[in-house]
Amino acid sequence: MKKIILLMITILSFLFTIGCSSNTVDGTVSKVVDGDTIKVQINGTEETVRLLLVDTPETKHPNKPVQPFGPEATEFATAKLSGQNVTVEYDGPKRDKYDRLLGYIWVDGENFNKLLLENGLARYAYVYDPPYIYEEQMEEAEKKAREEQLGIWSIDDYPSNVEED
């Protein structure tokens, strides 16, 4: 009887494990498209990943000119991420309407999305309505960069999605 119970527990544990999808996946950055979009090799497939909760100035938009601090955001992403092993963490829907993965990028134990905000190279923005796991941290990172007038926040009246206190 004990063997049957043990076997049932093992089978149920296995079924539960395969039925639960993880909210993280590991990969290697194969290309930086721009400051908020990268390509990551995940299990032998190259996936385009759009970074959650950040919007960097445009450098590749077909209908917009290169925006101030766009090249700097792309250079920052290239320096930090190119060829690096990263973890993509999902938060809400895994893909957007363009079939890009949506996630936070973790590199060397740091949330890269937050680093963009802390350095004034992105503004807080979301694709789908909140809540998000790191929403408050991201808003705080933008506020601090704004107060210190870093990057995009050195430009008068740069639009923000974060309310002033």
Catalytic residues: 50, 58, 100
Unique residue bearing structure tokens 């963490």: 89
DSSP sequence for 86-135: EEEE--S-SB-TT--EEEEEEETTEEHHHHHHHTTS-EE--SSPSP-TTH
d(CA 133, CA 20): 19
Evaluated on CA atoms 80, 86, 90, 94, the torsion sign reads: positive
Inter-CA distances, 47 with 29, 43, 124, Å: 9, 10, 23
